[in-house]
C-alpha cells in the first residue's frame, strides 16, 4: 500500500489521488469463513480497507492500527473465526467502490457516512454511529460559524460530506474552500494558519482539540450523518453477518463498552 505524506500540504486531483493512494491488490482467491457462506479475498483474514489517520475511529499507534471502527470489525472477524487485517488506502477508492470491486479488501470501515451517491457504488450495513459536521478553528479567533469566514479559507477533506456541506454553503457565506487529502493535513493547516477553519466530522475534531488546546470546536452543523460499514454490491452473506454482529453487540452491551473506551462516555439514547 502507499501511505500519504503527512508533512506536506498536498492538493491532488481525484485522478492522481486514485493512482497515488491505491493500495496493492491482495489475493482474490477462494478464501472462506467456514459454514457462514461468506467468501473472503484472503483465506483466514478479514481485510478492512480504511484511510488513516482518522482518530479515534482508526489511526496508527506504534506498529498497530487501533480505534473504534477497528474494535467493531474485530467482532465481525471473531464471528467469522478469522483475523482482521487493515489496509490503508485512498478514501476516494473506498467510497466509490473501487477498492472492494478489485478485491483489495472484504469490507470498508472508515468512519464513512451513508449517502445516496455512495449507496450506488457499495452496499452499507445498518448505521453504527451518529455523527454531525463541526468547525475547528484556532482558539480565540472569534470564528464561531460559517458567516464569520467571509473572505477567509476553510479546509475540507476530499470526498467527504464535510466537503459537500462546505461547497453547498460557499456562495452564501463567501469563503474559499481548500481541499486536503486527509484529516491530519487538514487539522494541521488550522494550527499553522494555512487555513482559517476546517470542517469535518465532530468526533475526530473534538479529539484533536482536546489533544491540541490551542484549537477549539466552535459549532456543529446538524446534518444527520450516520456511519456504515461498506461491502461490495451484492455481497449479502457478509453484509448479513455484519448486521447480525452489530445487532448483537448493541443488545449485549458490547457496543456501549467499545464506545465508552474511545469516547469516554456511553452513547446517548435516541
The torsion of the CA quartet 148, 150, 151, 152, rounded to 10 degrees, works out to 40
- H/E stretch holding 7: none
| 231-206-140 Cα angle (round to 5) | 145
Cell of 117: 451517491
Q: Give me the pLDDT at residue 34, please.
A: 61
Residue with cell 479475498: 41
Measure the CA angle with vertex 70, ends 66 and 75; round to 5°.
135
Please tell me the predicted confidence (pLDDT) of residue 1: 26
Please state, in angstroms and rounded to a whole number, the distance separating the CA atoms of residues 150 and 165: 16
Give the per-residue pLDDT at 65.
97
Domains and CATH numbers, the chain: 14-128+228-263 (3.40.190.10), 131-225 (3.40.190.10)
Distances (CA, A) of 230 to 9, 73, 195: 29, 11, 32
Inter-residue contact 102 to 237 (CB < 8 Å): no
CA–CA gap between residue 167 and residue 266 (Å, rounded): 33
pLDDT per position as a tens digit, 117-135: 999 999 999 999 999 999 9
CB-based contact 71:85 (threshold 8 Å): no
- Give pLDDT tens digits along the chain (270 positions): 222 223 333 333 333 333 334 333 333 344 666 667 999 999 999 999 999 999 999 999 999 999 999 999 999 999 999 999 999 999 999 999 999 999 999 999 999 999 999 999 999 999 999 999 999 999 999 999 999 999 999 999 998 999 999 999 999 999 999 999 999 999 999 999 999 999 999 999 999 999 999 999 999 998 899 999 999 999 999 999 999 999 999 999 999 999 999 988 888 765
Tell me the three state secondary structure of residue 211: helix
Whether pTM exceeds 0.85: no
Number of other residues whose CB lies within 10 A of the CB of residue 246: 21
Amino acid at each position: 500500500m502507499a501511505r500519504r505524506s503527512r508533512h506536506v500540504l498536498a492538493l491532488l486531483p481525484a485522478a492522481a489521488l486514485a493512482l497515488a493512494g491505491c493500495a496493492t491488490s491482495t489475493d482474490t482467491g477462494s478464501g472462506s469463513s467456514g459454514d457462514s457462506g461468506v467468501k473472503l479475498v484472503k483465506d483466514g483474514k478479514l481485510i478492512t480497507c480504511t484511510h488513516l489517520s482518522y482518530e479515534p475511529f482508526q489511526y496508527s499507534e506504534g506498529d498497530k492500527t487501533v480505534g473504534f471502527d477497528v474494535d467493531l470489525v474485530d467482532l465481525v472477524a471473531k464471528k467469522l473465526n478469522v483475523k482482521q487485517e487493515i489496509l490503508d488506502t485512498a478514501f476516494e477508492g473506498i467510497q466509490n467502490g473501487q477498492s472492494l470491486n478489485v478485491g483489495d479488501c472484504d469490507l470498508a470501515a472508515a468512519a464513512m457516512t451513508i449517502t445516496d451517491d455512495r449507496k450506488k457504488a457499495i452496499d452499507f450495513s445498518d448505521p453504527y454511529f451518529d455523527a454531525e459536521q463541526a468547525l475547528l478553528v484556532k482558539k480565540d479567533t472569534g470564528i464561531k460559524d460559517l458567516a464569520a469566514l467571509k473572505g477567509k479559507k476553510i479546509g475540507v477533506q476530499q470526498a467527504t460530506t464535510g466537503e459537500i456541506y462546505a461547497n453547498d454553503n460557499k456562495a452564501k457565506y463567501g469563503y474559499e474552500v481548500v481541499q486536503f487529502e486527509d484529516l491530519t493535513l487538514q487539522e494541521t493547516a488550522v494550527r499553522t494558519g494555512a487555513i482559517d477553519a476546517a470542517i469535518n466530522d465532530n468526533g475526530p475534531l473534538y479529539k484533536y482539540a482536546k489533544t491540541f488546546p490551542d484549537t477549539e470546536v466552535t459549532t456543529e452543523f446538524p446534518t444527520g450523518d450516520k456511519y456504515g460499514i461498506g461491502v461490495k454490491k451484492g455481497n449479502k452473506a457478509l453484509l448479513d453477518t455484519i448486521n447480525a454482529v452489530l445487532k448483537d453487540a448493541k443488545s449485549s452491551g458490547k457496543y456501549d463498552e467499545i464506545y465508552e473506551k474511545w469516547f469516554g462516555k456511553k452513547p446517548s439514547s435516541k
